[in-house]
Every structure is written in structure tokens, then in C-alpha cells.
Amino acid sequence: MRTSRKRAVALRLYAAVGVGAAIGSLLRFLSGVVIVSGLGLSALATTAFVNVVGSFAIMFFATATGPDGRLLVRPWRRQFVMTGLCGGFTTFSAMSLDTLALTLEGDPWRAAVYMVGVIGLSLAAAWIGFIAAERLNE
């Protein structure tokens, strides 16, 4: 592959990840608006929601587009969804911040339940995404 072609392929990949991340971050922000302002729930619910939904989405897409998957997508499209969109949408750092804030506010039990709950639900969502994509792949 010529150098200019390699550069074009790399730029497409970088752009796909960047645009995906921007869209994912915007969706995370809008989720917070709906969950906190619209539904009146805690900001903790927003972080939990995006991590659980994002875990399902990334595992479903990874399985459906993997080597044994039924959906054939170009590498840059796969990175757009998995690294960009899902990476921008989910937020482990916010969960860490929320957990530490609860601990510092004197509520370590709530912090522990929150952290274990979000991680557990995220793993369960990833498992459900895997099973759903496996069925699609049959």
C-alpha cells in the first residue's frame, strides 16, 4: 500500500473514532438531561444507565461483527461504533467519581452498592448482548 493510501486509511479511522466519540458523548449528556431533568432521578442513574446500555451495545456489536459474526463491516466502521460511540457514551471515570463522592459524603455502603450494582448490571448487559448477537449469527 502506498504511503498516501495508508495515510488516508489512518485518517478515516481517526475521524471515525473522533466523530463516534463526539456523538457518544452528546448522547451521554442528553441521557443525563432526560434522566435528571425529565424523570427527576439522581445523576447516579444516568451513569448507571449509560454504562449498562453501553455494555450491551458494545458486546452485541462486537459479537455480531466479529470473525464469526453475521454482519460484515469495515474496520473503520467497527471502530466508529465500538471505540468512538460506545467509548464516548459510557463513562467509567464518572462512576469512579460518583462512588468516591458518596464515600467522602459519609455513605460508603451506598457507594459500594452503587459500584457493585453498576458493574454487575453492565456485565449482565454485556452477556445479554453477546447472547442476542450469537442468535443473530446463527
Asked whether the predicted pLDDT for residue 41 surpasses 90, the reply is: yes
pLDDT band at 46 (very low <50, low <70, confident <90, very high): very high
What average pLDDT does range 119-134 have in this prediction? 96
Contact 47, 94 (CB under 8 A): yes
- Write down the pLDDT at residue 1: 61
How far is the C-alpha of 88 from the C-alpha of 111, rounded, in Å? 24
Percent of the chain at pLDDT exceeding 70: 99
What average pLDDT does range 113-125 have in this prediction? 96
Q: Within its chain, how far is the Cα of 50 from the centroid?
A: 7
Q: Within its chain, how far is the Cα of 80 from the centroid?
A: 12
- Write down the pLDDT at residue 93: 84
99: nearest Cα among 119, 69, 127: 119
Cβ neighbours of residue 62 closer than 8 Å, sequence gap 6 or more: 82, 133
What average pLDDT does range 3-11 have in this prediction? 90
What average pLDDT does range 104-133 have in this prediction? 96
- Write down the pLDDT at residue 3: 86
pLDDT band at 97 (very low <50, low <70, confident <90, very high): confident
How far is the C-alpha of 130 from the C-alpha of 63, rounded, in Å? 6
13: nearest Cα among 81, 95, 71: 81
How far is the C-alpha of 15 from the C-alpha of 133, rounded, in Å? 27
Q: Which amino acid is at 17?
A: V
